[in-house]
Amino acid sequence: MRNLEKVYGEGETTVNALQNINFSVKRGEFMLIVGSSGSGKTTLLNMIGLLDRPTSGHVIIDGVDTSTLNDNQLSAFRNSKLGFIFQFSNLLPDLTVLENVILPRKIQGTVEGAEEEAKSLLKTVGLESQFNKFANKISGGQAQRVAITRSLINKPAIVLADEPTGSLDSISAETTVQLLKSLNRKLNQTFIIVTHERPQFGEVDKIITVKDGRIIEGELEANLV
Ligand SMILES: Nc1ncnc2c1ncn2[C@@H]1O[C@H](COP(=O)(O)OP(=O)(O)OP(=O)(O)O)[C@@H](O)[C@H]1O
Ligand SMILES: [Mg+2]
CA of 40 to the centre of ligand 1 (A): 6
Asked if the structure places residue 109 within a domain, the reply is no
State the alpha helices, DSSP H only, in the chain.
41-48, 71-81, 97-108, 114-124, 140-152, 170-187
Q: How confident is the model at residue 133 (pLDDT cuts 50, 70, 90)?
A: very high
pLDDT of residue 158: 95
Specify the higher pLDDT residue, 219 or 190: 190
Asked if the structure places residue 212 within a domain, the reply is yes
Cβ neighbors of 142 (< 8 A, separation 6 or more) are 127, 130
CA of 127 to the centre of ligand 1 (A): 34
Cβ neighbors of 161 (< 8 A, separation 6 or more) are 84, 85, 86, 151, 180, 191, 192, 193, 194
**CATH code (residue 35):** 3.40.50.300
Asked if the structure places residue 222 within a domain, the reply is no
Quote the mean pLDDT of the chain. 91
Nearest ligand 1 atom to the CA of 44 is: 18
Asked if the structure places residue 102 within a domain, the reply is no
Mutual angle of helices 97-108 and 114-124, in 10-degree steps? 130
Q: Which of 13-17, 46-50, 116-120, 178-182 has the lowest mean pLDDT?
A: 178-182
Render 139-189 in DSSP notation, one character per residue.
-HHHHHHHHHHHHHTT--SEEEEESTTTTS-HHHHHHHHHHHHHHHHHH--
pLDDT in tens, 22-54: 999 999 999 999 999 999 999 999 999 999 999
Asked if the structure places residue 135 within a domain, the reply is no
- The residues whose Cβ lies within 5 A of ligand 2, an ion, are 42
Long-range interactions of 124-127: CB distance < 8 A, separation 24+: 124/149, 124/183, 125/149, 125/179, 127/97
Structural domain span for residue 160: 2-92+155-217
pLDDT in tens, 62-82: 999 999 999 999 999 998 899
> Parallel, antiparallel, or unpaired for β 60-61 and 64-65?
antiparallel
Tell whether the model's pLDDT for residue 180 goes beyond 80.
yes
Q: How confident is the model at residue 220 (pLDDT cuts 50, 70, 90)?
A: low
Instruction: Report if pTM > 0.85.
Output: yes
**How many domains is the chain partitioned into structurally?**
1
Asked if the structure places residue 140 within a domain, the reply is no
Asked if the structure places residue 113 within a domain, the reply is no
Cα–Cα distance measured from residue 188 to residue 183, given in angstroms and rounded to the nearest whole number: 8
Tell whether the model's pLDDT for residue 221 goes beyond 60.
no
Asked if the structure places residue 145 within a domain, the reply is no
CA of 105 to the centre of ligand 1 (A): 31
pLDDT of residue 225: 38
Residue with the smallest CA separation from ligand 1 atom 28 is 38
